[in-house]
Structure 1
């Protein structure tokens, strides 16, 4: 699994002009991509990493201060543009594989006590955010 993590002051995601998920306080915006070799173990590891990642002010984590996360599925994280001008998406897992794993990340975060907002899997989403820092990281949790 792959995640792009941004420390934000606030963030929201809209579908068809309606806000479906938002955080209005400092926290993390997380874009999550799934590849073919990913499974529940990778989802659990990613959730644990996100919950404990010490990138908030004062080197705190979401678990330290109860900061919220906005988690959004993002298959394009596995896009490959090394050849030509048009990316391929062959490394991205198909929806029936990816959706339950993104849901597993969200469920595991919630089980650990996180307040998690989400987008809508597979929808055309508009994401708004105020990156704080700016701080942006790419996390890879390799599959088997």
Structure 2
């Protein structure tokens, strides 16, 4: 459920190929044998808080991808988290990315961060 204003959460099966909903909130569950799920969150954030939020997300460690969009919904930068993050530590490979995120935050006032998190099926079973 959506408990935070300005935050949209979607839960998607990794094997799901098509997800669409006019309201922007979709929960897709499949009877497939997938052991992992992807949770997609959208956060509305101001430009000055962008770098701190991205660093916080990188430290969490279970993030698959971060997408930063402007007010119109255009993707400004897409950051895959498959390389360079070990144990939630920001490596030297991410310093240019963080610099780019800082420039975007300085130039754009209102942004949306789309966060894809990877969760195991065991975590979801315990929550039910």
TM-score (normalizing by structure 1): 0.30
Higher gyration radius (CA): 2
- Which of 1 and 2 has higher RCO (CA within 8 Å, sep 6+)? 1
